[in-house]
Structure 1
Amino acid sequence: MDFGESIYNLIPRPVDVPEKQALYHSQHVGKVDPKNFVLGVSKRERGTFGAPNGQYRPDPKKFLTRHSKEPLLPDPAPVTQPKVNKKASVPKRTERPVMGLVSTKNFITANAVENILSVPRKVNNEPFFYTKKADYGRIPSYLTKNKAKIQAEKTAIEQYLASKAEEDAYGNGTVRKMSEGERVHLLSHLKSKWEEVNSVYQKMTFTLDTPAKQKRKENYEQTLSQIEKDIQKLEKGNIFIQEDL
């Protein structure tokens, strides 16, 4: 930093002398015999100065022809599945249609005579009464089979649920099947409960301007949803109850 005139400037400053680097010495021999020296020809034909004069001249016999760079496809293989000619062949020159045939038959009159002389078909005009059928008033056999199959499936499901309930029962309680009277009584109570909650829910105001109203509306909706789920379960039947001892 230069502060201008100062007494320290009278002190001589050391001069940095740069270190002299070593001279470059080539590894090749400096002396070459002029008789044996040819500029690049002995090692490479072209060297770095290009081809000799006249080598870049184009050959008039070598020029780019049409389709010369396209790939050559192999010869087609013989047909393994000969083509079946579905159309009729063209008639030969020697094949000629039969001409000159003339008929004296009057097809209109012959057709009328044949229809007049033909025996009419027998038509049953008697009315059909379904009450005279052999299986009238009886249950069709396919309905009986379907009902028996459905009843067998219901019985198998009930047996499976009963065995499952017995397996799930543990030491401090028992599992029993709810009776039909209890199921109907509980179902009627749930329906009446749903009507009471729904009537209160329908009487609510449309404006939910306070958090208390919003919370009350959510509680009513959750209660109605839970009651509907319980009603659906009870309507299916086969309800098992676990009682604590």
Structure 2
Amino acid sequence: MTTPQCAPDNVYSLLPPLEQKPVKPPRYISIFRPSVKHEAKQNKAQWKTMGPAKVAVPSPKNFLQKHSKEPKLQESKCRHEIYEMQCRKIEQDSKKLPALSVPRRTDHPVMGIQSKKNFINTNAVAAITRLPKKPQPLYVDSRQGDKYLLETSGLVPKYLKKKDYGVTPKYLTERKEEMKKAQKEYEASVLEHLKKKAMKVLSDEERKRLLEGLKKNWEEVYREFQCLPVKIDSIPKRLHKEKLETQMKQLEHDIQTIEKHKVIYIANE
């Protein structure tokens, strides 16, 4: 058997192969190029004299005005002619009429004659002599020109022209009267309550009776105090003695205050 032969190792085989760019062919140039250029120049030279070389610029005074291209109607002239014709006819008719005089009692009106009325002329005269209509008041609230009625917008002070403007409403006057009445009733009830709780002044007779009663009570307590034994050797006796002394002091204090003050007030309980 024959053994396979191995290729010898080479360092250059490890390097990547270089990319070879394809070579572009030369650009195509037509052989008729100079002849085409010559024909284009010849045709272009013929168009140089086409149209005026300089155009007259319009003057700024002859500018385009608004509604200048719209068809204009001669309504005003027709109306004016109709009005003049009507006036001339009225003047001629007035000249032909005889002088009017007061009719007699024996005269009778002419019957059976009908006069025709020219409604076209009368309507035209009425339209010419009629006063122009007043424009409806409007207001604009945006730059796009949105229009709205001025009367319903609230900007017109129409409420100032009302008869009851500035007059106090009835319900407010009634409410004020009710409040005053309630205030008077409250004050009256407070005065009655204070009168009931007011202090009463003692008269001279009551004051004398009160003094006599206090002195009499003091004498009774003093008599009982004198009846006590000289030697007090028990707690009940001592407590009874202290009680009598306090009663006597209180009665003396009350007698002094009543004798000192002539006018005495007593609160109603």
TM-score by length of 2: 0.27
Whichever structure has more helix as a proportion of its residues is: 2
Task: Determine which structure has greater relative contact order: mean sequence separation of CA pairs < 8 Å that are 6+ residues apart, divided by chain length.
Answer: 1
TM-score by length of 1: 0.30
